[in-house]
Structure 1
Amino acid sequence: MKIKISRTNVSPVRLNVEVKSQGKLGDRPVAFILPGGPGADHTPYLSYACLQGVADLVFHDPRGCGQSNKDNPAGYTLNTYIDDVESIRQALSLDKIIVIGKSYGSMCALGYALRYPDNVEKLVLSAGAPSYRFPDTAKRNLKRKGTPEQIKVCEKLWAGKFSNRDELLTYFQLTQPLYSVRVKQQKSPDLIYKSKQFSYEVLNEGFKNDFWHFDYEAQLPKVTCPTLILAGRHDWINDVSHAEFMAARIPYSRLHVFENASHAMEVDAAEEYFQTIADFITL
């Protein structure tokens, strides 16, 4: 379905939303799955459909991504993403929701829980970070773990200077081994598909702007809902230290570190990863 988002402070757009429910939406717990990137649509997150046994699921393509409308680049912000999630919740006439964010989606999920605390039943922060300090640890990890080619291609990432999807595909091809301890570097059909679905324009805006100044660290004690924090021990871009920092400051939180996983925990430790989330939802 397409949901029209029309607020006075942003351009009106239609967002692509996919609902997976058993019966009437809202009769069971409802979990929103927030894509990362920035620039990803919902399709790489369809593996989360295995959680349907414990909750109804709401997937969406953020503005500028997938089948949602494009927008002025000024609209591709963390704040807009957060408020778009709230607009979807309202459009679906839902009360409290479970918010599950992965990577950049985790940053948005944290921001949502802080801005709309009364609307969040539970919060899952996966492979995330609470502030602009994450690129500094990522750069240190890259210097330690990365090849010269990987270090060079990441210069475009830090600067938000991908010119087209081909450049983004090259980035994914070269850095795949950093994101997963299981996936070997290869030119796979799945990788090509991912790059075609990924919005390099939205990715660029994140690294040009939001990622250098957003900061939720001082507000972490204000997160009032039960929170599950997930991290891969070998995550290069959102270092495990950021998960530990959040777990030490969010009052009702628990931390689960996957010892044999990098950023892509849902690939490196799939069974344990999804079972941990399912158990948290059913508590």
Structure 2
Amino acid sequence: MSVFLDSFLMRAALAGLGVALAAAPLGCFVVWRRMAYFGDATAHASIMGVALALSFSMSIFVGVLAVCLIMATTISTLSGRGYAMDTLLGVIAHSSLAIGLIAVSLIQDVRVDLMSYLFGDILAVNKTDLMVIWGGALLVLVLIWWRWSGLLLSTLNPDLARASGIDPKREQLILTLALSVVVAVAIKVVGVLLIAAMLIIPAASARPFANTPERMVLIAACLGGLAALGGLQASYHFDTPTGPSIVCLAAIFFTASGMTHWIKTRLHA
């Protein structure tokens, strides 16, 4: 097993698969709840977590997770107090990214490769990173599996969820926690600027082919995994940035999905 993981390409492939599996179910809920901007804001805020972790010589995962949770709590507190949600998310997303970049640049005696945090550096994933990524992915999958019925019902009909004894705000908190974990583990693979894409694009691509929520999650996981492996392969052969290559392939899948759905609709019209 140790020899198997000594190949940097194998470690990169496993890291990409781990992120794809974690992002698939969560991305479906992001699409269903129309929370795309929320995912983007959480990802942008994560750069402040990087600065926090480097300043206090702590794990990047812990720093990013802490900041993402604080950001999500802040948004939940401020929403409904005179601010439109999209405006609030826009302000927090861009200002937190700017503050984080400035904070990272001010850190003394620490050499920081900002490009690797902004766009990911999957080829530099080590065995410890793999443990963190797969540990986070398993945590998210267990959390979603445990709360699947409650999350789904509160997504489809919050009033019916309350009548069934399910608190939609609690389910929202669980979803926020899972989203923060995914952002924390994905930052090494695709970077701050592309995390939201890996959440949204595979799920959106799977939507036309799924007639049940469970099937949509499975198809999104497959498409995310194929995008991760195919993007890694393309990056290796064409010497292109790996994170953007993965997202570009996911975008191709989305385009193909949309065209296929359009053709099927025309044929059955």
TM-score range, shorter chain: under 0.3
Structure showing the higher strand proportion among its residues: 1
Q: Which has the higher contact order (CA 8 A, sep 6+)?
A: 2
Who wins on radius of gyration, i.e. which is larger?
A: 2
- TM (norm. structure 1) is 0.27
- TM (norm. structure 2) is 0.28
